[in-house]
Structure 1
Amino acid sequence: MSLATYTAVFTNRRIAAAMFLGFASGLPLALTGSTLQAWLSDAGLDVKTIGWFTLVGQPYTWKFLWAPLIDRFVPPLLGRRRGWMVLAQLALALAIAGMGGLDPQQHLATFAVLAVMIAFFSATQDVVIDAYRTELVHHEERGAAAAVGVFGYRMAMLTSGALALILADGILSWQHTYWVMAALMGGMVLVSFLAPEPTLAARPPLTLSEAVVAPLREFFSRKGALLLLALVIAYKLGDAFAGSLSTKFLLDMGYSKSLIGQANKVFGLIATIVGGFAGAALMVKLGLYRSLLWFGTAQAFTNLGYWLIATTTSPGNELLFLAIGLENLAGGMGTTAAVALLMALCNVRFTATQYALLSALAAFGRVYVGPASGYIVAAFGWADFFVISVLAALPGVLLVWSMRARIRALDHDPQAATAQE
């Protein structure tokens, strides 16, 4: 199969839309997270108050609660998905601009309300974009859509994170920096207008009851539904363990903070993006099942790079970059396959609700393994911890292998995921 065959899936409007909407999805995140914390710190707020502001991101955790409304109701313009995207993006642009017009010292309560509103509208936009991307792309394009979506998302986080900090550090005021970000967010409305309408249309739920209950009933009516949910949770679990305390580990190994930043944030980001695109290209040939199996295996065993650092008497910088590069390369490939799996599992009638629920389960490890990781390190040490992280990844790989017939059916028939068995 020629290189042109592998890369052809990237050269169409559907994939372009997935990339730009990935940017739209990632742009608001830092504006209520790390960038907001920097503004509050510059404004002279104490650490306790800044700590309370970390709670404004709660809507991202609970977005599945209102996802059924996105499936149930259709805006009067631009259809079921693009209409909601435009509404969310306009609301985000206005809320971000509103924050830019306030002094957090003088209007702290209003500032906090606007921050929560940004997180809410951003989480809503995520629900719609995930549903739109799932309905838009053809089944052979899922890997490419996942890769370019992650790329756009990470570029947006750099824009509202690193670029915003650079702008606010003497080039612009914090207020003007947020207005620049609001303008970028407003520009995403044009992307939604120009994005193609999904060709795979389905009747939306007729009632709220149908929108809430039917997605769950439909999913659990499928053969092997519980095993599919277990796979969604387990597939990235080893990755979550290895990454949960990586900065603390590298500091304990004697690496400087600046070197860790260069390796993790710059080199690691590049490796993740390369892994995402490589995974998407390989998925064209390998298909969903073999991609999940091979990338999941790579995810598991590249964690041993950190084990090698932990067991080496004087680990050098070369070993640091090798371990981070391989782990992030495999992680990027695994993320591409995992997102493609989530898209394949969604019934087109309930895409917003089912994707929101599945993505919440997929994030389980990333959110909850941190405390357990600390206890494991304290009990066994760093070297054994990374061996355990490999073992934690293996159940996900074994589930892929045991469900190979089901996953192959998802890959060869776009509607297989919605079949009642």
Structure 2
Amino acid sequence: MNYYTNRRVIAVFLLGISSGFPWVIIGSALTLWLKEAGLSRADIGYAALIFSVYAINFLWSPLVDRIGFTRMTAFVSKIGIQLDSRRVWVAICQLAIAIGCILMSMHSPEINAKSLVLIGLFVATASATQDIAVDAYRVDSFDRSEPQLISAAAGAATAGWWSGYAGLGFLPLFLSDQNWSWPQLYIAMAGIVALLFSLTIFLPVVRFTGTQEQGKIFDEFKTSVLSTHARHKYLLLTLASLPFVVVIWSLAGAPGIPQSIQQHSAFIPILIVCVLTLLALTTWRCQNLLTNQTQSNYPSRLDTPLAWFLTAVAGPLRDFFQRNGYRFAISMLCFIFIFKIGEAFLGRMSIVFYKEIGYSNTEIATYSKMLTWWLTIIFAITGGWINGKFGLYRGLFVSGIAMAASNLMFSWIAEVGPSIPLYIAAIVVDGFAQAWSTVAFVSLVSLMCNHSFSATQYALMASLGNFGRTTLSATSGQVVDWLNGNWSLFFIITSLMVIPGLTILWRLKAPIENLLKQQPTQT
């Protein structure tokens, strides 16, 4: 337990608060605001699509790896403030979130709900980018020879996230019952983000940057690009740009695709598969480029920007699959994708369920926020210590079973009505499941990352998890409506969603244990 007094672990806890609080701004608070404005369950569920940016933030995560703000950090060091690129990214995102809160306070869902949701999308984008930098800061703060500190940092990150989401999230829910208007609450939340910004400036500097290895890979790509014919350079640039074109096209409303197809539940998963396939093709083409160099040179203006682009995009993917092996890497990505889908369906509609079943805003704030906050801190810190001592595999498996049990507890509440003792019991089980699974998940993903590409590689894996947790759960309101408001059956169905993830985890036992034993340190 002494690991939690480490200065780097404490810094991770504070940044965890910064990561969790935006989910109050665009999650609980916005959901209640829309509910009180009279929007339907289905509309509220579709508003959750703003969380989809968390599922695709890996697309711009290479920028966090490659843009280091060296001039800015050098300038502020002259006045005694030691900054690194990770914290500069965090600070910029925090300022954007605060501005977004102020803008949201100027809108009303009764008059223009669309504008309010669009600003929420802006906040979500800044928050998703902040998550990239925060995760990279945590990974780069610890050596792989420090597994206990890595587990402790995972516990601190989880405890911090829930301190921001549930602890600070208690305030707007509680104050909303004390005659505070939602615009006033969003101004207050902007002030909280500004306070977090001031703390970020004085956190410890990361231990690893990976700048030297990135430089070597850049030189390697530039040499290969130089020996590539011009038409192949344009072809490669086009191929590498296609994933971003697909995402921009989809965010623009997927013009040319009928609404009936866009509203199909398989449409977004197909888009994600297309993007990942294009990224894989780009990585494969780059690998061929490196292994089939010619003696001839074809210099052009594209050489430097293309090499930079390939280092940022293809470099992390190539490293990830080469180090972990294609079979294990793909299996792990599948596990990350489906592990928390059931928990996501519960979380997305939980506030609506609490209100419809008969709980007040104060009861929701007291038990769902404050109680969950303390439980998660306890279970996260304990889980970090136990996972470091007894192994991450056991932690993941036990937490998966607990997630299914917690959903069944909410099904019980739906049958008996708004019982406070049963509500508390469900919150305890749910807090245990979420904290334990997240700590083990974060520790495992951190160990799979290379310090040279920690932002991109961690964001790729976290985005897959967020895709299952947020994008698919946007249909949760429709599922409840399809079940004619049968909340009990809804939670039973969500509890069964954990089975595929546990099946994959069981088959990955040996590779995971080998990863923990053999993972080398790379700086």
Question: Is the structural similarity TM-score above 0.5?
Answer: yes
1:397 Cα deviation from its structure 2 partner: 2.6
Q: Structure 1's 198 and 304: CA in aligned 2 closer, same or farther, altered over 3 A? A: same
One of 315, 324, 328 as aligned partner of 2:431: 328
Aligned pairs for 1:167-178 (under 5 A) are: 177-178=185-186
| Equivalent residue for 2:321, pick from 220, 230, 234 | 220
Is 2:209 the partner of 1:201?
Answer: yes
Residue 358 of structure 2 corresponds to residue 256 of structure 1:
yes
In the TM superposition, residue 125 of structure 1 has moved relative to its aligned partner by 1.1
Does the 8 A contact of 1:60 with 1:119 survive in 2? yes
72-81 or 323-332, which deviates more = 323-332
Answer yes or no: is 1:392 the counterpart of 2:494: no
State the Cα distance separating 1:16 from its structure 2 match.
0.8
Distance in 1 of aligned mates of 2:450 and 2:203? 22
Which string of whole-angstrom CA distances, capped at 9 and with x for unpartnered residues, describes residues 26-60 of structure 1? Answer: 23333345545777899xx8859x97976655543
- Stretch of structure 1 that moved more, 395-404 or 104-113: 104-113
Aligned twin of 1:80: 85
TM-score by length of 2: 0.64
Instruction: Give, in whole Å, the separation in 1 of the partners of 2:50 and 2:496.
Output: 35
| Deviation at residue 82 of structure 1 after TM alignment | 1.9
Secondary structure in 2 matching 1:201? coil
Match in the other structure for 1:3: none
Q: Which moved more, 1:199-208 or 1:176-185?
A: 176-185
RMSD after superposition: 4.3
Does the CA contact (< 8 Å) of 1:17 and 1:191 recur in 2? no
- SS class of match (1:200): coil
**Aligned-partner Cα distance in 2 for 1:110–1:302:** 36
**What does the per-residue CA deviation read over 1:216-236, in whole Å, with 9 as the maximum and x for residues that have no partner?**
222233321111112212332
Distance in structure 1 (CA, Å) of the matches to 2:370 and 2:192: 23
Counterpart amino acid of 2:147?
H
Q: Is contact 1:9–1:144 with CA below 8 Å preserved after alignment?
A: yes
Determine if contact 1:133/1:145 at 8 Å carries over to the other structure: yes
**Residue of structure 1 equivalent to 2:463:** 360
Q: How does 1:24-39 map to 2 (within 5 A)?
A: 24-35=18-29
CA contact (8 A) 1:92 1:182 kept: yes
**Distance verdict in 2 for CA 1:319–1:122, change over 3 Å:** closer
* TM-score after normalising by structure 1: 0.77
Give the secondary structure class of the aligned counterpart of 1:74: coil
Q: Which has the larger radius of gyration?
A: 2
Q: Does 1:143 align with 2:151?
A: yes
Q: Which AA in structure 1 matches 2:150? A: R
Distance 1:209 1:175, change over 3 A: same
The answer as to 2:396 corresponding to 1:402 is no
Question: Counterpart in 1 of 2:63?
Answer: 69
C-alpha displacement of 1:140? 2.0
TM-superposed CA distance for 1:295, in Å, is 2.8
Q: Which runs of 5+ in 1 are unaligned?
A: 1-6
Read off the aligned partner of 2:450 and give its amino acid letter: N
In the TM superposition, what whole-angstrom CA distance separates every residue of 1:289-338 from its partner, at most 9, and x where no partner exists?
2222333333344545456667x889965444334422331232112111
Equivalent residue number for residue 276 of structure 1: 380
Question: 2:94 is matched by which residue type in structure 1?
Answer: Q
Say how many residue pairs are matched: 404
- C-alpha change, 1:8 and 1:240, in structure 2 (3 Å) is same
1:80-127 Cα deviation digits (max 9, x unpaired): 312222332334445545666x57699999977765443332221111
Q: Aligned in 2, Cα 1:117/1:407: closer, same or farther, shift over 3 Å?
A: same
Counterpart-to-counterpart distance in 2, 1:278 and 1:354: 27
Identity of aligned residues (%): 31
Q: Which residue of 2 aligns with 1:122?
A: 127
Letter in 2 for 1:401: W
Unaligned segments of structure 2, at least 5 residues: 74-82, 219-307
Cα distance in 1, alignment partners of residues 172 and 355 from structure 2: 27
Contact 1:215-1:350 within 8 A present in 2 as well? yes
Go from structure 1 to structure 2 and tell me whether the alpha carbon gap of 1:91 and 1:402 turns closer, same or farther (over 3 Å shift).
same
Q: Deviations 1:205-246 (Å, cap 9, x if unpaired)? A: 641222111222222333211111122123324434565666
Match of 2:5 in 1: 11
SS at match of 1:30: helix
CA contact (8 A) 2:402 2:432 kept: no
Checking the alignment, whether the CA contact within 8 Å between 1:31 and 1:160 is kept in structure 2 is no
- Check the 8 A contact 2:406/2:429 in 1, yes or no: yes
Contact 1:64 1:353 in 2 (8 A): yes
